[in-house]
């Protein structure tokens, strides 16, 4: 009887509720949370500087809204292909996963190419420089290039990350029961796309308030 009682009171070793996959997701979410604060700080500083400037150029008159709207649409489409890639590997369709990852990478590369074209056009034709604009010293160029460049660096990192995941997929690393790597890169890519929508809205779309 005492042996049964002792067995009933035996404590089983506790198991961690976090698997290697969930640890990866937790790490990615922590990284994205910190990155979101970085972008939030940049956009807040941009808003404060713009609000305090008396000669801030109207972005809707200076920046290429049509081109940037296409770039935004391109990133949104790349998010769709990323969703399709993850869905494909969850259903065991490795070939479709590879194709959709390739389309996502292509969307990121085209976005970076268009951003390089936009920067070149603004610097040479509209003279949007880092500290000056039409001879008036303020921080329009500096804040524009800092924020869009910071995001462009994230897109570049995302393209490299996606390429590594694609190569792993070609080697047969992922399957219907092992797709954590694809899911993690999807989280990062969706974050990059969401941040761009905010950047596009704050920097490109909001016109200057009418002067009294």
CATH of the domain at 173: 1.20.120.80
Q: For the chain, what is the domain count?
A: 1
Write down the pLDDT at residue 6: 46
Tokens (6 digits) for 95: 């070939």
Residue 141 placed within a domain: yes
Rg of the chain in Å (alpha carbons): 23
**To which H or E segment does residue 137 belong?**
strand 136-137
- Three-class SS of residue 175? strand
CA 2 to chain centre: 62
Region 62-68: mean pLDDT is 86
| H helices, E strands: number in the chain | 7, 2
Q: How far apart are CA 157 and CA 35, in angstroms?
A: 13
Candidate from 12-16, 36-40, 123-127, 158-162 with smallest mean pLDDT: 12-16
Region 188-205: mean pLDDT is 94
Q: How far apart are CA 118 and CA 64, in angstroms?
A: 8
137 bridge partner residues: 132
Residue 107 placed within a domain: yes
Write down the pLDDT at residue 15: 46
Instruction: Encode pLDDT of 131-174 as tens digits.
Output: 655 544 567 888 888 999 999 999 999 999 999 999 999 998 98
The range of the structural domain enclosing residue 125 comes to 73-212
Residue 186 placed within a domain: yes
What value, to the nearest 5°, has the Cα angle with vertex 201 and ends 67 and 36? 115
Residue 106 placed within a domain: yes
175 bridge partner residues: 178
Mean pLDDT value across the chain: 84
Instruction: Encode pLDDT of 94-131 as tens digits.
Output: 999 999 999 999 999 999 999 999 988 888 765 666 66
Residue 39 placed within a domain: no
The pTM is what?
A: 0.84
Residue 81 placed within a domain: yes
128 bridge partner residues: 133
Residue 199 placed within a domain: yes
Residue 112 placed within a domain: yes
Tokens (6 digits) for 21: 């996959």
- With b meaning 16 or more CB within 10 Å and e meaning fewer, what string describes 163-198? bebbeebeeeebeeeebebbbbbbbbbebbbbbbee
């Amino acid at each position: 009887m005492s042996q049964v009682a002792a067995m009933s009171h035996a404590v089983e070793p506790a198991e961690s509720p976090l698997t290697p996959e969930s640890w990866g997701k937790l790490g990615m979410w922590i990284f994205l949370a910190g990155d979101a604060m970085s972008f939030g700080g940049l956009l807040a500083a941009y808003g404060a500087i713009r609000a305090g400037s008396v000669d801030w150029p109207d972005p809707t008159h200076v920046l290429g809204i049509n081109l940037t709207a296409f770039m935004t649409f391109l990133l949104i489409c790349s998010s769709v292909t990323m969703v399709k890639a993850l869905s494909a590997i969850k259903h065991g369709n490795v070939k479709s996963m590879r194709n959709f990852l390739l389309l996502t990478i292509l969307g990121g590369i085209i976005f970076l190419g268009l951003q390089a074209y936009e920067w070149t056009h603004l610097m040479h034709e509209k003279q949007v420089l880092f500290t000056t604009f039409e001879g008036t010293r303020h921080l329009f160029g500096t804040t524009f290039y800092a924020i869009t460049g910071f995001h462009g660096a994230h897109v570049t990192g995302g393209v490299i990350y996606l390429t590594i995941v694609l190569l792993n997929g070609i080697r047969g690393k992922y399957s219907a029961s092992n797709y954590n790597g694809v899911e993690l890169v999807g989280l990062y890519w969706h974050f990059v796309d969401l941040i761009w929508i905010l950047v596009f809205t704050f920097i490109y779309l909001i016109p200057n308030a009418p002067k009294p």
